[in-house]
Structure 1
Amino acid sequence: MADGPGELVAAGEVLAMLGVGRSRFRQIQQSPHFPAPYARLSVGAIWLKADVEKYIAEHRRPRPVDEDE
């Protein structure tokens, strides 16, 4: 049996990974750098988690660390 493409994430998980709301996520999706969905299902788009992680590493500023944590 062949391995799958990798871990998949839906919009809600991508929002959490990016730390943004839905309207900001819609803007980010318009960026030519944001990965295209791996597939579009009846419930919405899904992405390869590795593609989203790569986008975050290359195109998002690191979030400040809360020193109280």
Structure 2
Amino acid sequence: MELLGLDEIRDLLGGISKQRATIIVGRKGFPDPLVTLKMGRVWEGKAVRAWIATNRPSPADED
């Protein structure tokens, strides 16, 4: 199982700012974290990747 923190999600979203990533992961419809630790929330990679594929255009689609 792939586990992702906010920094890994930022990377998957093209290196967006921490503030922007925090807004995105807080939106309705974004996968719920598996657990919240002292270091932060942890998500299942498969669920996050599926959400990104459905909800975020790839850079090639933005031309």
Measured against the shorter chain, the TM-score band is 0.7 to 0.9
Q: Could you say which structure has the larger radius of gyration?
A: 1
Aligned to 1:7: 2
Give unpaired runs (5+ residues) of structure 1: 1-5
Aligned to 1:23: 19
6, 31, 39: which one aligns with 1:43: 39
1:32 aligns with 2:33: no
Identity, % of aligned pairs? 28
Residue type at the aligned position of 2:43: W
Alpha-carbon shift at residue 64 of structure 1 (Å): 2.2
Q: What is the TM-score when the length of structure 2 is the normalising length?
A: 0.84
1 or 2, which has the higher helix percentage? 2
Q: Take 1:31 and 1:14, find their aligned partners in 2: how far apart are those partners?
A: 14
How much is the aligned-residue C-alpha RMSD, in angstroms? 1.4
Give unpaired runs (5+ residues) of structure 2: none
